[in-house]
């Protein structure tokens, strides 16, 4: 980003020349960054357009349902020696059916996420890389311009107007105004650069979070759900004795615990993903406002 046509930034460079050079470096960095940032608005908006909130709600609902699907004794403690009652068995069967019916509510949004996200994940990654590369280029220009601005400010700070030259005060004021204008420009460019890098970091986190979420749904969750359902389905037949239900529920305890752990991991992954998606949306909105201000 070095301007070869300008004099070096040593002690002999005139403050006005330095001010002009700072302006050219900053505007060259902005000119290289802006087209890339503007072109990537639609791909970034598409990345944010995939909603994972329905999947998180379904995970929470199924976790609560599976947690409740246990064989409880409706009798008070002093009467439990009588054994399990039929009403407690019927409630257990109803809770299990309710929990099993929630599985499609997880699989359907997960399938939609896979269909909309996986085919474009590589393109999203390329989009983020381009934005970060453009931000790095802008950052290098801003760093160079800020170094020159520091030199310019050090030269102007000790200067005082010449009482014998009425125009010296106006000249000094003009230079100070130019320094302030360029300082504000560099601050806006640096902010846009930082936000673009944040988008790259958060976007990568979103891509990784979605991939992990889909991997867990297709892997650990499916296996745990199949295991629990295989043990519970024989207990949903009509006419089973309460003692049979209790025994079957006890046999399914480990499978139920495994399903709850799988749902816990999925919920934690999806919650982190939601946080990253919201942070990405916020950063994207900030970048759009910053581009308008430039």
Percent of the chain exceeding pLDDT 90 equals 56
155 assigned to some structural domain: yes
124 assigned to some structural domain: yes
Per-residue confidence (pLDDT) for residue 99, from 0 to 100: 94
Average pLDDT over residues 170-198: 86
Sequence-distant (6+) residues with CB within 8 A of 286 are 195
Average pLDDT over residues 202-218: 95
The per-residue b/e assignment along 204-242, b for 16 or more CB within 10 angstroms, e otherwise, is bbbbebbebbbebbeebbbebbebbbebbeebbeeebeb
185 assigned to some structural domain: yes
| Six token digits for residue 5 | 């046509």
Distance between CA 1 and CA 137 in Å, rounded? 9
Q: In the chain, how many domains are there?
A: 1
Quick check: 284 and 199 in contact, CB under 8 A? yes
Q: Tell me which residue range forms the domain holding 93.
A: 15-293
**Residue 9, pLDDT above cutoff 50:** no
Q: State whether the Cα torsion 129-132-138-142 is positive or negative.
A: negative
User: Which tops the pLDDT comparison, 244 or 138?
Assistant: 138
23 assigned to some structural domain: yes
8 assigned to some structural domain: no
232 assigned to some structural domain: yes
Residue 19, helix vs strand vs coil: helix
Residue 159, helix vs strand vs coil: coil
| Six token digits for residue 35 | 């087209």
Per-residue confidence (pLDDT) for residue 5, from 0 to 100: 45
Lowest-pLDDT range of 79-83, 189-193, 263-267: 79-83
Per-residue confidence (pLDDT) for residue 204, from 0 to 100: 95
**Residue 4, pLDDT above cutoff 60:** no
Across the chain, what does the average pLDDT equal?
Answer: 85
Per-residue confidence (pLDDT) for residue 103, from 0 to 100: 95
1 assigned to some structural domain: no
Quick check: 215 and 266 in contact, CB under 8 A? no
pTM (two decimals): 0.80
**Residue 82, pLDDT above cutoff 50:** no
**Residue 169, pLDDT above cutoff 90:** no
Per-residue confidence (pLDDT) for residue 7, from 0 to 100: 45
Per-residue confidence (pLDDT) for residue 111, from 0 to 100: 93
Sequence-distant (6+) residues with CB within 8 A of 193 are 33, 135, 138, 139, 142
Report pLDDT digits (tens) over 122-141: 999 999 999 999 999 999 99
112 assigned to some structural domain: yes
């Amino acid at each position: 980003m070095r301007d070869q046509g300008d004099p070096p930034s040593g002690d002999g460079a005139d403050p006005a020349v330095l001010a002009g050079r700072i302006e050219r470096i900053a505007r060259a960095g902005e000119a290289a960054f802006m087209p890339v940032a503007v072109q990537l608005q639609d791909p970034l908006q598409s990345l944010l357009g995939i909603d994972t909130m329905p999947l998180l709600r379904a995970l929470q609902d199924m976790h609560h349902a599976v947690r409740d699907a246990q064989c409880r004794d409706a009798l008070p403690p002093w009467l439990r020696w009588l054994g399990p009652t039929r009403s407690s068995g019927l409630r257990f069967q109803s809770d299990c059916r309710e929990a099993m019916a929630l599985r499609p509510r997880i699989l359907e949004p997960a399938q939609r996420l896979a269909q909309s996200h996986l085919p474009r994940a590589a393109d999203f990654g390329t989009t983020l890389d381009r934005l970060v590369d453009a931000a790095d280029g802008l950052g290098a220009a801003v760093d160079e311009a800020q170094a020159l601005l520091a030199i310019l400010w050090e030269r102007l700070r000790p200067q005082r107007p010449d009482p014998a030259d009425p125009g010296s005060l106006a000249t000094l004021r003009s230079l100070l105004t130019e320094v302030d204008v360029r300082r504000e420009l560099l601050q806006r460019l640096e902010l846009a650069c930082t936000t673009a890098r944040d988008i790259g970091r958060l976007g990568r986190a979103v891509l990784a979070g979605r991939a992990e979420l889909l991997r867990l749904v297709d892997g650990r969750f499916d296996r745990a759900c199949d295991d629990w359902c295989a043990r519970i389905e024989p207990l949903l037949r009509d006419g089973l004795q309460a003692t049979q239900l209790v025994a079957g529920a006890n046999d399914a305890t480990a499978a139920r615990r495994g399903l709850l752990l799988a749902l816990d991991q999925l919920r934690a992954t999806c919650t982190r993903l939601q946080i990253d998606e919201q942070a990405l949306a916020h950063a994207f909105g900030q970048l759009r406002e910053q581009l308008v201000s430039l």
